[in-house]
Structure 1
Amino acid sequence: MTVHEPRITTYEAFWPFYLGEHALPATRAWHFVGTGLVLLALAAGVATRDWRFFAAAPVCGYFFAWVSHFFVEHNRPATFTYPLWSLVSDFRMFFLFVAGRLGPELRRHGIGR
């Protein structure tokens, strides 16, 4: 988002924007790895009651996501402007991928890469 773009005010408008910011398959792959590690870290934290797994979870998620934006997609992570919607959308994108429904969702919003 540049300074001249209007702020997105609804999640329904944000979701297609979010998908567009993740247009490259490699970006989505980095996100998938990071989000998968977040879920594993949270599960490990619950299973072991070790707080370090909980501390590692956001580091895993943001590290992989930001690497993908800076070095693959070459855009600014949406989380800098829309932190909550970005978090929700990352998990939404992850679970759509796991369910085999991300491709149709991308095409529905005109994102075909």
Structure 2
Amino acid sequence: MTSTTEPRTFASFAEFYPFYLDEHKNRTSRRLHFVGTTVGSVLLLTAILSMNAWFLLAGLVAGYAFAWVGHFFFEKNRPATFKYPFYSFVGDYAMYRDIWRGKIPF
């Protein structure tokens, strides 16, 4: 029997992504993720172009701050980042892409 406190295991990102989307049902939360990913990506690009690591740090803080506000105040759940850091990071960009493509409502 699996305890509800144990993290689920996923064999692949394709298996994880439906779970990730289920954790992002709230439209405001998705919008906050979208803004955070946009700001974080711009700051990452700025870090690369300027060769200034402070922009990288600022990008990580900004990206996660927007996302975590979405989870704690709108989704009322814990971010998947805490249990699935890599898949969650990839999931955020996959959701970002799907919002741009119109597959997920903004």
TM-score range with shorter-chain normalisation? 0.7 to 0.9
- 1 CA distance for matches of 2:38 and 2:65? 12
Structure 1 runs of 4+ with >4 Å offset: none
Q: CA deviation at 1:46?
A: 2.0
Write the distance in 2 (CA, Å) between the matches of 1:21 and 1:70.
12
User: Which consecutive unaligned segments of at least 5 residues does structure 1 have?
Assistant: 104-113
TM-score by length of 2: 0.86
**Aligned residue in 2 for 1:64:** 66
* AA partner of residue 27 (structure 2): P
1:58, CA displacement in angstroms? 0.9
Q: Identity of paired residues, percent?
A: 43
Question: Which position in structure 1 is the counterpart of 2:9?
Answer: 8
Q: CA deviation at 1:102?
A: 2.4
2: CA distance between counterparts of 1:102 and 1:65? 17
How much has 1:8 moved relative to structure 2? 2.5
The count of corresponding residues between Structure 1 and Structure 2 is: 101
**Structure 2: how far apart are the matches of 1:26 and 1:86?**
18
The CA RMSD measured in Å over matched residues stands at: 1.5
Code of the aligned partner of 1:23: K
Q: Aligned residue for 2:28?
A: 26
